Amino acid sequence: MKTTIRLLAFFAFLSFFGCATTRVLNTPSGKPEVIIENKTKKEVADALVSEMVSRGFTIKSVSDYTLVFSKPLDNIAASLLFGSQYDATPEHRPSFMIFESGAGVRVVLTNQIVTNPGSAYERVTDASGGQAGESWQDFLTLFPNVFRGRVGIFVDNKSIVTNVLQSSPAMTAGMLKDDKIVSVNGVPFSKISQLVGDPDTDVIIIVLRQEKELNFTITRKILK
């Protein structure tokens, strides 16, 4: 049974990262990107750091125009695809180029998987395209919402809460990791943008927890 689960995890990971370079995205750069209006470069960079750290990444390097983050890819599928005899644990290394353009602040992502990270034998695989790139494009498309009112949760594609931010409105209200969102303001939940709105406005969230429906009324806030 464990072998079957490992094989399924491997093929799922392979479909997500293994063919990442075969299809570029339909963006000006061919990579995940977004333009954010009415914000300074510093405001965008600070918000990006907060979002990435909340997702378990650490800051690897910072320059005037680039933010680089890293996180170990410590699962068996990643080790089989990108590990080596020298180092079995590859590194996920997203790099964000941030600069001002005529329309606002433009953010362009280069998504990399690094074999033998931190050594003289680093080998880099570009994963900016394909399914992995599309996932990061979804992230950047939603990223401007950090400048609007939010409740402070992360949700996966099955409507399950994967993280509740410390001291956030959602945590204060009593929402928990693994809650399943059923509806938002009476509308069946389908996308994270339903949770976003003007600061200091209320949102009614119904979740399923241990087969019981719970109702939360939460006031959106600008999260730092």
Query: Please, which pLDDT band fits residue 223 given cuts at 50, 70 and 90?
Result: confident
Helix, strand, coil % (nearest 5) of the chain?
30, 35, 35
Domain range for residue 202? Answer: 149-220
Residues 140 and 43 in one domain: yes
User: CATH no. for residue 120?
Assistant: 3.30.310.80
Residues 79 and 46 in one domain: yes
Dist CA 51 CA 38 (whole Å): 19
The burial of 134, by beta-carbon neighbours within 10 Å (0-12 exposed, 13-18 middle, 19 or more buried), is given as middle
Residues 143 and 153 in one domain: no
Is residue 190 in a domain?
yes
pTM of the predicted model as reported, rounded to 2 decimal places: 0.72
For position 74, what pLDDT does the model report? 75
Q: With 50 as the cut, is the pLDDT of residue 16 above it? A: no
Is residue 13 in a domain?
no
Q: Which of 11-15, 138-142, 175-179 has the lowest mean pLDDT?
A: 11-15
Residues 173 and 214 in one domain: yes
Dist CA 180 CA 189 (whole Å): 10
Element (H, E) at 222: none
For position 17, what pLDDT does the model report? 52
Residues 140 and 42 in one domain: yes
pLDDT in tens, 84-131: 777 778 999 999 999 999 889 999 999 999 998 888 888 999 999 998
Residues 126 and 184 in one domain: no
User: What single-letter DSSP state applies at residue 210?
Assistant: T
How far is C-alpha 69 from the geometric centre of its chain's CA atoms?
A: 12
Dist CA 153 CA 181 (whole Å): 11
Domain boundary among 131, 147, 163: 147
Residues 91 and 166 in one domain: no
Among 132, 151, 131, smallest CA distance to 192 is for: 151
pLDDT in tens, 156-165: 989 999 999 9
Q: At 49, phi and psi to the nearest 5?
A: -60, -45
Tell me the pairing of strands 33-36 and 58-62.
unpaired
Is residue 1 in a domain?
no
Residues 37 and 140 in one domain: yes
Percent of the chain at pLDDT exceeding 70: 90
For position 10, what pLDDT does the model report? 40
Is residue 103 in a domain?
yes
What counts of helices (H) and strands (E) characterise the chain? 5, 12
Domain boundary among 121, 147, 173: 147
Is residue 53 in a domain?
yes
Residues 100 and 159 in one domain: no
Is residue 17 in a domain?
no
Domain boundary among 147, 167, 197: 147
Helix (H, G, I), strand (E, B) or coil at 74: coil
Is residue 24 in a domain?
no
For residue 177, count other CB atoms closer than 10 A to its CB.
11
User: CATH no. for residue 200?
Assistant: 2.30.42.10
For position 20, what pLDDT does the model report? 47
Encoded tokens for 196:
């976003």
Q: How many domains does the chain have?
A: 2
Residues 125 and 155 in one domain: no
Residues 38 and 128 in one domain: yes
Residues 68 and 111 in one domain: yes
Query: Please, which pLDDT band fits residue 22 given cuts at 50, 70 and 90?
Result: low
For position 24, what pLDDT does the model report? 84
Is residue 95 in a domain?
yes
